[in-house]
Structure 1
Amino acid sequence: MSGIINGNPTKVFFIEMLTRDISITDAIIDLLDNSIDGASSINKNDYSNLYIHLTLNENEFIVEDNCGGFSLDTAQKYAFRFGRPEDAPPTTGTVGRFGVGMKRALFKMGKVFEVESKTDDDHFQIDVDVAKWKEQKTIEEKDGVDVKRDDWNFNYNIIDDQSKNLDNNGTYIRVTDLYDEVSNLFTDESFLNDLTDDIERILNFSLEKGITIKLNGKTLSKKGIYLLMSERVKPYYYEGEKNDVKFRVLAGLSHTGDPSVAGWYIYCNDRLVVEADSTELTGWGVRSNVKFHPDYAMFRGILFLDSDDTLKLPLTTTKKGIDSTANIYKTSRTYMEEGMNYVLSFLKDVRKLEDSDDYRNTLDEVEEKKNVVELKRENFNSYDSRKFFAPDLSPDVIKTKKDSVRISFSAPIKLAGKAKVHSGSKSYKELGENIFDYYTKMEELLDE
C-alpha cells in the first residue's frame, strides 16, 4: 500500500520563520539592491540622474526610485513568486538570486504594504493586507471532495491616473502598520546612523557610479575602497574565468589609518558582500599561518566576481557572505593568497624601518589613489601580472617628499566624459591637469 504525505509549505513559515534569517537593515538593503538592479538594466556604467529615496518613521517605510520599474508580466510570473521559478529568464548581472528578497523584506517590516511599478508599457499597483492574505484560501476538487488550500496569489490594479505616486518609470513601495520593534527602530537615531553607514559602505560602488540615495531627505555619501596606484606603486593583480564567472584579484596598499578597515573586500556583480576581512575565509589565520597585525593597516585586497548568471556567484541568501566551498571561490582564493603574501612581505620590511611611520605617511601623501570603480575599469594589459611593486625602502626615498601635492575630486561620469572629449584629454588624469592649467592661467590673466 502506498500513499501521499502532504509536503506543501505554509504561509506562516514564510511570514514568521523566513523573516527571522535577515535583519531590518539587510531587508532594507535588499530592496535597494532591486532598485540598483533596475539602474543597471538602464546603463551598467553610469547611474547619473537616477535616484532612490528612503523614508523611515514610526508610521511607515517608503522606498521610491526612478530606476525603470518592472513590467506587469514580470510581476505576474516572477517578482511575487516565493522562490525563483525554473522558467524564469536568466539574470543579467544582478544580485537578486533566490526570489525571496522583496517579499521577505516586506513581511519583515509590517502588516500592510503596497507596491507600485511604472514602465513604458505598464503602470500597476499591488495592495496587500498580510493578515487577510494569510487567511486567503482557494478550493480544489479532489476525488469528488472540495479541499481548501492556501491561495498564494496577489491581486493587482492597473493605474490609469498617471498622477499616482510615480511620475517617472520606477518603483514605489510603502509599508504601514509596522511591527512595534520596527517602528521603534525607525525613530532611533543610532539605528538611522548605522543604516546610513551600512548603505554608504555596502552600496558604495553604485554611489561611485552616480546614483543618488537619500535617507529621510539626507543625501548619502560614497565610502569607497582605494588602492595606491601610480608609476611607483602597482598592486598585484590576476584575472580569469571559471564556469561563466569572471574574477579579478587585486592586492596592494591603501591609505594609512584604522586597521579595522584593512583586509579583503569582495564584490559580487559590484555589490559589496565581504568587507575588511582578515579571517580564514580570505586566507588569513591558521590555514596560511599569517595573522593580522596593526602594521598591516595599509593592506587592501579586492576580489571582483561577475557573472550574468547570478546563481553561479558564491553568494549567501543574505548577501553578507561567501560560500567558501564554491569552486570559483577556491580558484580565486589561490591568487588572493599569492597577492597577499607579496604585499605583506613588503609591509613586514616596512615595519623594520626606523622611521616606518614616515615612509607610510609619505606614500599616503604623494602617491595617486584609485577607487573601486576605476580599478574595475582599469586596463591592466600593460602591467606585469601577478607582481607587486612599491617604492624603494632606502632612507633617501623615505625622507624625500615630492615638491608637489596631489589634487583629487569626483565628478559625474557623463559630464567628465564630455569634458575629456572637449578638452582633448586622453585620460581623466590628463583632464585634471588641463583643468588646473586652465585655472592657473586664468589667475595669471586676472593678475595682469
Structure 2
Amino acid sequence: MTEKNLADTRPTKEYLVNGITKDVSVEECIFDLIDNSIDAYPRQSNEIVSEYDGYTIDLTLQNNLFCINDCGKGIDQLLLKNDTLRFGTKTNHHTTSIGFYGIGLNRAIFKLGKIINITTETDTERSIIKLDASKFLKDNDNWSLPIISEQLKEKKGTFIKIENLNSEVNDSFTNPEWITSFCKQISIRYSEFLKKNLKITINEKEIAPHLVSIRTNSGFKPLEKEFTHKGIKVIISLGQSAEHFFTYEKSYNLEKNATPQECGWFVYCNDRAVKLFDWTPDTGWHTKFHSEHTGFIGKAYFIGNAGKLPWNTSKTDVDLNNETYKKSLETMKKFSEDWRKHTTKVLKKGYRPITDENPVINDLFGIPPQEIQTPPQEIQTPPQETQIPPQETQIPPQETQIPPQETQIPPQETQIPPQETQIPPQETQTPPQETQTPPQETQDDEELPTHEELLYDIPPHALNQNQLFESFPDKKSPFNIPLNETKLCSIINEMSKLKLDPIKGSPYAALFLLRAFIELSCRYYVKTKNSRINLNQCASLADQVKSCLDHMISSNAFNATEDTRDIDSLKALCNVSASQKTIRNIQYLQNTLHHPRNIWDKDNINAFWYSILPFLIKCYE
C-alpha cells in the first residue's frame, strides 16, 4: 500500500483546542494551573502533605496579563519533551497528586491568551518554551515546540506568563467584582491547603482560608465514618456548622447565623474541594430541601491515586459512576437523614438537648448544683423572718371568709391557730400509723380505685382542653410565683401559650417545659421551706418529687384525711417500677423526652397535668 492511498485522520489543532476549551470556565483553567503548582511542592513521601511551610503560589490577573509563579521543584527537560504539553498524557507526579488528566495545562494556556511563555528551573536545568497560539493553531503539520536551555539562576520553580488575553478573560480580569468573587472561590476550594500554611496571592494579596468547621458543643453529636475501598481512603463526617445556632441556643443571632448557601456537603479529592455547599441527591440529600434543615456541614474526603478518585476532568464535580463514591454515598445519605430528623425534632417537636448553649435543666436557678445544699443552712439564722410571711399569707384567706367587722381583731385570731396547730400534731401522730395500713381501713369502707383511675381522675372537661391553663380563671397560672423568679415566670409564660393539639400545637414542647417546671418547683420548695432535702442525691426526677412530697406530708401541707386521693395519685406518679413503665408517670415523661415516638396525645398530657397539679401548687404555698 502506497502512502498516497492513506486517509489522514489527524485532528486539526483548532478543532482539538476548541473541543477542550469550549465548556471550561476561566476560573477552572486557573484552578488547573494552581493544581499543577501545588503538585510541584517538593514532598518527602506520597502521602497527603500535612505542612506546606509557607510554600507560595503568586498569581497576577491584570489587563492583558496573566502570570502564575511557584517555587516548586520545576519541570525537567525530559518531561517537557515527552509529557508536559502533550494532549491527553496522564502525568502522575505522585500517588496523591491533584493533576492527572494531562489536559489542564494545555487547556488553560489556550483558553487564557495567545502569547505564552513558560520558564521552569530544576536543581540542574533551566528551560524556556515560547508559544504564539495564533501561529501554532494554523500549522497542522508541526506539533512540536522548541525548548530553550539557559544557565541556572537559582530561582527554582515554574513561571507562566500569558499576554494578549482573549476578550472573555480580559473582561473578567478588569472587573473588580469578578476578582473579588474569584478570590473567594480560591479561599474555599483550596481551604484545606491554605490551612496547612500554603500561601496563594492574587495581585499581591494573600488569600485566607474559608474555614468550614463542625461544632463540638452542639446538641447534635457529630457523625464520622472511615474506611478504605479499592485502595482509596474515605473519611466522611457530618455535624452542626460552627456558624449555626438554633433559636433556643443562647448564641443564636439571626443576622450572623449560617444560611442555606453556607451549609451543606463538601467533597474533597486529595484535599482539593470539588463539591461545595451541596444539598442535592449527588451528595446524599434525597428529600426536598427546606430552609428548616439549614445548619449542617458534611465533609467527604477521598485520598489516593488521582486516577481512581471520584472527580470529573475539570475537578469541579463528582463522578457519580465511580464505585468508591457509590459506596460512600450510602453513608452520606444516612448522615443527611440523621440531621434531617434532628432538625424536625427541634423545630416541630420542641426537642431541646442540654448543652453549654442550652443549660436550662442543669442550672435552672442560676447557681451551680453543688451550692443548692447551702441555702437551708444560711437561712436558718433568720427563722423568725421566714416564719412571718406564712402568718401574713394566712390572714387573707381569713379575711375573705370572715365579714369585715371581724377583720378588726386578726391579731387575736392569729394567736388561736398556733393553739390549734399544736393540737393537730397530737392528732397527726396517729395518722402516720393509720397511713401505714390504709388499705385495711379503706377496704372496710369502700373499694380502692385502680392506679389508672387515680391517675386519670380529672374533671371531664379537662380532657378536651387544648392548653394547660385553659380551665383556670382567665387562663392564668394558679401558682404564687414571685416576680423575681424570672426563669420560673418565663417557663410558666411559655407553658400558657402552647397548644396541645398534635397537628396545630406543640405537645412535645409542652412536655419538655412541664418537665423543667417540675424540677424547678422541687428546687423552689426546698429553697423556701428550709428543707434539708438534698436533691442532688436523688437518682431521678421522680425521686425528687417523692422526697418533696414526703416532706409536705410530714409538715401537714396535705390534709392526711381530706387529701388522701391526691397523695395516692402523686405517689403513683413517682412509681418507677417495671410493671408501671407504660403508665403516664414521671419516669415515662423522662423516657418520652428522649424518645419522641412515645409522644403523648392531648388527653394524656391533660391527665398527667391534673395529677401533678396538687403537688405543684403546694410547692408555691
Tell me whether the two structures share a fold, i.e. TM-score over 0.5.
yes
Matched, 1:58 2:63: yes
User: What's 2:50 paired with?
Assistant: 45
| 1:160 Cα deviation after fit | 0.8
User: What's 2:272 paired with?
Assistant: 271
User: What's 2:134 paired with?
Assistant: 131
| 1:247 Cα deviation after fit | 0.9
| 1:47 Cα deviation after fit | 1.1
Q: What is the one-letter code of the residue matched to 2:26? A: I
Give matches, 1:205-220, under 5 Å. Answer: 205-220=192-207
314-323 or 7-16, which moves further after superposition?
7-16
Partner secondary structure for residue 260 of structure 1: helix
Q: Residues 361, 190 of structure 1: CA spacing in aligned structure 2 closer, same or farther, 3 A cutoff? A: farther
User: What's 1:252 paired with?
Assistant: 239
| 1:99 Cα deviation after fit | 0.3
Matched, 1:362 2:357: yes
Matched, 1:78 2:72: no
User: What's 1:107 paired with?
Assistant: 110
RMSD of aligned residue pairs (Cα, Å): 2.7
Q: Which residue, 6, 9, 12 being the options, matches 2:11?
A: 9
TM-score, normalising length: structure 2: 0.52
User: What's 1:316 paired with?
Assistant: 312
Q: Residues 359, 168 of structure 1: CA spacing in aligned structure 2 closer, same or farther, 3 A cutoff? A: farther
**What is the rounded CA distance, in whole Å, between the counterparts of 2:199 and 2:93 in structure 1?**
28
Q: What is the one-letter code of the residue matched to 2:344? A: K
**What is the rounded CA distance, in whole Å, between the counterparts of 1:269 and 1:115 in structure 2?**
26
Q: Which residue, 12, 20, 23 being the options, matches 1:21?
A: 23
Give matches, 1:327-346, under 5 Å. Answer: 327-346=323-342
Q: Which residue, 96, 104, 119 being the options, matches 1:93?
A: 96
User: What's 1:438 paired with?
Assistant: none
Q: What is the one-letter code of the residue matched to 1:304? A: Y
**What is the rounded CA distance, in whole Å, between the counterparts of 2:229 and 2:163 in structure 1?**
45
Identity over the aligned pairs, expressed in percent?
28
Q: Residues 240, 14 of structure 1: CA spacing in aligned structure 2 closer, same or farther, 3 A cutoff? A: same
Q: Which residue, 298, 301, 305 being the options, matches 1:301?
A: 298
| 1:359 Cα deviation after fit | 8.3
CA contact (8 A) 1:14 1:104 kept: no
CA contact (8 A) 1:262 1:296 kept: no
**What is the rounded CA distance, in whole Å, between the counterparts of 1:121 and 1:228 in structure 2?**
49
Aligned length: 344
Q: What is the one-letter code of the residue matched to 2:212? A: I
Give matches, 1:384-395, under 5 Å. Answer: none
After superposition, what is the alpha-carbon deviation per residue over 1:90-140, rounded to whole angstroms, capped at 9, x for unaligned? 742111121000110000011110111111122111111112222446xxx
List gaps (5 residues or longer) in structure 1.
Answer: 138-149, 364-392, 398-448
**What is the rounded CA distance, in whole Å, between the counterparts of 2:224 and 2:320 in structure 1?**
21
After superposition, what is the alpha-carbon deviation per residue over 1:120-171, rounded to whole angstroms, capped at 9, x for unaligned? 122111111112222446xxxxxxxxxxxx2211211112151xxxx53211
Partner secondary structure for residue 227 of structure 1: coil
Partner secondary structure for residue 193 of structure 1: helix
Q: What is the one-letter code of the residue matched to 1:53? A: D
Q: What is the one-letter code of the residue matched to 2:150? A: I
**What is the rounded CA distance, in whole Å, between the counterparts of 2:512 and 2:215 in structure 1?**
19
CA contact (8 A) 2:237 2:298 kept: yes
Q: What is the one-letter code of the residue matched to 1:66? A: C
| 1:89 Cα deviation after fit | 5.2
**What is the rounded CA distance, in whole Å, between the counterparts of 2:105 and 2:273 in structure 1?**
19
TM-score, normalising length: structure 1: 0.71
After superposition, what is the alpha-carbon deviation per residue over 1:397-419, rounded to whole angstroms, capped at 9, x for unaligned? 9xxxxxxxxxxxxxxxxxxxxxx
| 1:355 Cα deviation after fit | 9.1
Q: Name which structure has the greater RCO, CA cutoff 8 Å, separation 6+.
A: 1
Q: Residues 280, 4 of structure 1: CA spacing in aligned structure 2 closer, same or farther, 3 A cutoff? A: farther
User: What's 1:31 paired with?
Assistant: 33
Q: What is the one-letter code of the residue matched to 2:118? A: V
Q: What is the one-letter code of the residue matched to 1:327? A: E
**What is the rounded CA distance, in whole Å, between the counterparts of 1:131 and 1:42 in structure 2?**
41
After superposition, what is the alpha-carbon deviation per residue over 1:296-347, rounded to whole angstroms, capped at 9, x for unaligned? 221111110111x211112111111111121111100011111222222222
Q: Residues 347, 355 of structure 1: CA spacing in aligned structure 2 closer, same or farther, 3 A cutoff? A: closer
| 1:281 Cα deviation after fit | 0.8
**What is the rounded CA distance, in whole Å, between the counterparts of 2:151 and 2:51 in structure 1?**
31
| 1:80 Cα deviation after fit | 1.0
Q: What is the one-letter code of the residue matched to 1:362? A: E
Q: Residues 355, 230 of structure 1: CA spacing in aligned structure 2 closer, same or farther, 3 A cutoff? A: closer
**What is the rounded CA distance, in whole Å, between the counterparts of 2:264 and 2:218 in structure 1?**
24
Q: Residues 355, 248 of structure 1: CA spacing in aligned structure 2 closer, same or farther, 3 A cutoff? A: closer
After superposition, what is the alpha-carbon deviation per residue over 1:237-294, rounded to whole angstroms, capped at 9, x for unaligned? 1111222211111111112111112211100010000011111111223xxxx22222
User: What's 1:168 paired with?
Assistant: 155
Q: Residues 89, 273 of structure 1: CA spacing in aligned structure 2 closer, same or farther, 3 A cutoff? A: closer
**What is the rounded CA distance, in whole Å, between the counterparts of 2:93 and 2:27 in structure 1?**
28
Q: Residues 168, 230 of structure 1: CA spacing in aligned structure 2 closer, same or farther, 3 A cutoff? A: farther
Q: What is the one-letter code of the residue matched to 2:357? A: T
**What is the rounded CA distance, in whole Å, between the counterparts of 1:156 and 1:241 in structure 2?**
43
User: What's 2:223 paired with?
Assistant: 236
After superposition, what is the alpha-carbon deviation per residue over 1:146-202, rounded to whole angstroms, capped at 9, x for unaligned? xxxx2211211112151xxxx532110000111222222211111111111111111
| 1:216 Cα deviation after fit | 0.7
Matched, 1:177 2:164: yes
CA contact (8 A) 1:114 1:127 kept: yes
Higher helix share: 2
User: What's 2:345 paired with?
Assistant: 349
Partner secondary structure for residue 284 of structure 1: coil
Partner secondary structure for residue 79 of structure 1: coil
CA contact (8 A) 1:207 1:222 kept: yes
**What is the rounded CA distance, in whole Å, between the counterparts of 2:324 and 2:112 in structure 1?**
35
Q: Which residue, 179, 199, 212 being the options, matches 1:225?
A: 212
| 1:352 Cα deviation after fit | 2.9
Partner secondary structure for residue 41 of structure 2: helix
CA contact (8 A) 1:116 1:125 kept: yes
Q: What is the one-letter code of the residue matched to 2:293? A: Y
Matched, 1:199 2:182: no
CA contact (8 A) 1:248 1:303 kept: yes
